[in-house]
Amino acid sequence: MLIEAQSVTKMFGAFKAVDNASVTVEEGDILGLIGPNGAGKSTFFNCLTGDMPLTSGTVRFAGTDITTAPPEERARLGLARSFQVPLTFESMSVLDNATIGALLRHHNAREAQAKAREVLDRVGLGRLADAPAKSLGTPGRKRLEIARALASEPKVLLLDEAMAGLTPTEVREAIELVRRIHAGGVTIVIVEHLMEVITSLTRRVVVFHQGREIARGTPREVTSDPHVIEAYLGRRKVRHAGES
């Protein structure tokens, strides 16, 4: 078991953004976390990466308890992430952005840059390596987020809406990229809005709604689950949901 999140709860004041969620990720998985806006999937995601402290629950990574570990510690253990709104290192070149990731495993700057170049080629940014990162548009920045994370040679890559804001063509290319990364031996957890991405990419999906997990299974299973349809589209008819 690579990631084992148990009974994770995150409160903002009295509001339960994530309510007792338990998710496990095995090596080689591509797991999708989906749900309507405000379902708590991004909050849950940030609990996994260490960006937000949990209110209660535990998170284990490859057998180590990382519940209270800061993000940098998790990165060292092999947990890399992208940000929903890209946090590009604006003052640097594209290459230097990726180098920051590569320096985690290659302490020598020269070696790290070689590694960074290799990763940039892999994600299709090789041609722009020497351009200033701030000259990149949204698709380029999203790609750079992934390159940076990959350069840190992670076991798991957590993608937070890596495809939001892309055109359909760009989405298809990005899906292809994630597939290649997965084929290269990296476990993937992806938070996504776009059903297309989830159905074409993932094997297993966990559906969040109002901070709770309401369904899990293959993409086909969950998309036909009445709870999920209800969460996304609202009730078809009045009925008593005594059990939920």
Partner 1 sequence: MNARRLIQLALLVAVLIYPFLTLESPVYQRLGALVLLAAIGASAWNIVGGYAGQVSVGHAVFFGIGAYSAVVAFVHADLPPIVGAPLGMLLSVGVAAVIGVPTLRLSGHYFSMATIAVGELVRVLSSTSDWLGGAQGLGGPAMPRTVFDLSFMSAMPYYYIFLAVLAFLLGMTWWIERGRMGFYLRAIKDSERAARSLGVSAGRYKLYAYMLSAAFTSLAGSLYLCMFGFIDPESGFGILLSVKMVVMAALGGAGQLFGPLVGALILVPVEELSNSLLGGEGAGITFVVYGAIIVIIARFLPAGLLSLFERRPTAEKPAVSTANPASGHAD
Binding residues (CB under 8 A) for partner 1: these are 49, 51, 70-72, 75-76, 80-81, 83, 87-92, 96, 99-101, 103-104, 107-109, 112, 123-128, 130-132, 135-137, 139-140, 143, 148-149, 152, 169-170, 173-174
The dihedrals phi and psi of 218, each to the nearest 5 degrees, come to -75, 160
Residue 152: CB minimum distance to partner 1, A: 5
Nearest to 194 by CA among 137, 235, 232, 144: 232
* For partner 1, the closer CB: 172 or 193: 172
Identity of the residue, 42 or 152, whose beta carbon is nearer to partner 1 in the bound complex: 152
Alpha-carbon span 208 to 221, nearest angstrom:
15
CB of 182 to partner 1, least distance (A): 17
For the bound state, the minimum distance from the C-beta of residue 241 to partner 1, rounded and expressed in Å, comes to 39
- Sheet containing 204-209: which strands, arranged edge to edge? 79-81, 156-160, 187-191, 30-34, 204-209, 212-217
Q: Which residue type is seen at 164?
A: A
Residue 200, burial from CB neighbour count under 10 angstroms (0-12, 13-18, 19+): middle
Nearer to partner 1, 100 or 164 (CB): 100
Q: Structure tokens of 8?
A: 């994770």
If the CB atoms of residues 66 and 207 are measured against partner 1, the closer one turns out to be 66
Closest by CA position to 73, among listed 86, 64, 63: 64
Residue closer to partner 1 by CB (options 106, 209) is: 106
Provide, rounded to whole angstroms, the least separation between the CB of residue 91 and partner 1: 6
Query: In whole angstroms, how close is the CB of 242 to partner 1 at the nearest point?
Result: 43
Give the max Cα distance, the chain: 65
